[in-house]
Structure 1
Amino acid sequence: ILKCSIDELFKQVYLYIQDKEALEENILYIDGTKFEANANKMTFFWRAWQKRYQPRHWKKCIEIIRQINTYFKKNEINIRYSIIKEPSIEYLIEIDERIEKYIAEKKFIRRRRGKHELAKLVDELKKSAIKMWQYAMANDVLGNRNSFSKTDADATFMHMKYDYYNHTNVFKPGYNVQAGIVDGYIAHMYISADPNDIKTLQPFLNEFKKQYDEYPKTVVGDAGYGGYDNYEFCKRNSIEAVLKYSGYEAKKKKVNDKNRYHLVHFERTTDGTPICPQGYAFDIERTSVKHFGLTPKVTIYYRNSNCAACPVRNRCTKATKGRTAQITPALEKEKKRIDELLETGRGKQLLSNRSSQAEGTFADIKENFKYTRLQRRGESGVEVEMKLVGIGFNLRKYHNKKHGKPKDDIILS
């Protein structure tokens, strides 16, 4: 019952606060963080296992079927089973049922003399068939993921925060929780099993629209959200995307001997063709168009034909045929827009607000309230739990703000 009403409850609490506090409705600050699932960290299952071992078990099944055919041929029994290439659990079950029936009819069950040769082969076939079925089930559970936890099948193994004692990333089952913040209050939350933020933006915004009947006018996020598909999605839905892209910070760094030969620091011609530090323009090698996302993605592949006699070739490239570059004009246009926007006072203020509001929200929940591990299992249960946490956060913030309670006195009850 709670799951059916949690979205409406969350919405009504937020709209009440929005009405009382006159919150800014047009700008949504987005951030994501990983919460540890209520699952044992040693219960992992990897897609690589399914890819590696399922074909091996199928190969073993085929070998057993060949041995069964050999037995029938040796005993001049007119029975033979086909050898098929594609794995089929239904086919293995059919063979097992037929041979079991044959053994029962011929009374091959021997007492005190051990199992019949044919019965032994059937037992081996059953073991491999069970393994095949287990890997097929695991493949269904995996979906588009690379791992899951056997304790909580919806949880994905993700890199948590850096372990300063063991000097490694902590790898645990968890969920990627996304939150949209408006003036310090949580307007929307989205639970994802994908560890990458870039793939969560579109479903997050679609759910936001479903909840409030419209998209936000402006979305502000860090480099984890900046990408071609997300920029195109925002453009198509009339959303101002203030999303930094991967490499934004590196592009701002001063050019020196270490980064001089990075593509982001190359000069460009008027049509966007890169020019190497030695002054040689790249040549267009080919153009590709991909249709995987919302709109066709045009990528231009360049190659520099002047690398053979270049005195700094070893510092610039290891390619035998010259330095290459891949540029997507539409993405470069969006990057230029982001660069110009973030240099303005408004852009800087938006990033500053996001750092304090979006990142500050998760800092309160995790550090101040010590809420780092989930209690419920399953994506639906986690969604209910996190939205209850979001409701509590909003009510607590509203109450403390209304009664003038100092921030240091905020305690998770």
Structure 2
Amino acid sequence: MGSAAAEPAARPGRGAPAAAVLAGLAAAAPFLLGLLSLAPNRLLSPRPAGLPLTTPVLLSIAVFLLAGLGLALAACRARSLRLAELLAVAMMLALLASAGMAAEALLRDASASARAMPAAGFWMSVLLVCLAGGAAAAGRGAAPSLFWAASLLGGSALLLGGGLESLSLLKEAAARGPEIRAALAQHLALSGGAFLLALLVAGPAALLALRHPRAEAVLMGVANAVQVVPSIALFGLLMAPLGALVAFFPVLRTWGIGGIGPAPAVLGIAAYLLLPLASSFLAGLRLAPPALLEAAAGQGMTDRQILRAVRLPMGAGVMLGGLRLAAVQAVGLATLAALIGGGGLGALIFQGIGQLAADLILLGVLPVVALSLAADALLAGAQTALGARA
């Protein structure tokens, strides 16, 4: 009986076998696809570069491989899945350190304009390690918060310590520091402004639709119709009326409103956010059982009191889910604002595409991904905390 009871505890948790396989693939990727590539300058195409056989590089590679082996072994036991997640962190940091030290060694004998950039094997390994860390966390029924927090902390330490400064991406970032900060501020303003505008419209509209079915039909019809229009087309459709409005009221130019620029982008993004916000608000407001609403009305509570004491507390989780989706969508759609002169991180991405500069593209893409993950994690945490309180 004792051995039979202990047997289930030794089985791998959900996702644990996948973590072992992913760790093996991540360990092989830099050797099969290359860790770094070397280019004469930032515009010319890079060529695969061999791994420098210096002592620091070899030690970091050894740590990377040993961490991968440990991850694969730890993922085979349910009790070791937290250790497997930590080993995924070690694997990630060793990979970053290997790339940084290998780039420094490659550039010692190269020209001053040469650039050492991560090759396909590096990026593939990063992706696979992230998936392995997530699979290990999923195997123990948890979110990969430990993996992400430790990886970000360790990666920041490497970055601040100068361990990655030889990589071309960091050199490009150092050369364009003010431009990146300005683009990031513009992106936050675009996505944040559109999110707030959509929230101001969706909230009252959902309350109106709750009481009037015809208003709901109009609201959801308009919100669904906007989703059919491609984002670039919607931005273009808004340019003409805004330009005409500014022609009649020139004072609007002093407020930054015009046919070209951030104004049509903010309005267009807000229109796209109307559907997830309005639908989640309505679903949340209707979550309270009719019997409970009748009981509250029977006690003499007004509609406003029922809204505050019953509907909002019970539907807050569903509403936060809509806010979460809309926030991530706003960050992503703000990237396209650069096509109509709205600025933001999309300007770096499209500039990099025009110059065939991969580093410049990544300097726009990576902050967008980070902002999306941060917004999602923040609202997911609030949703989880609200569910725990309930």
Which category describes the TM-score, using the shorter chain as reference length?
Answer: under 0.3
Q: Choose between structure 1 and 2: higher helix proportion.
A: 2
**TM-score, normalized by length of structure 1?**
0.21
**TM-score, normalized by length of structure 2?**
0.22
Q: Choose between structure 1 and 2: higher strand proportion.
A: 1
Structure number with larger C-alpha Rg: 1
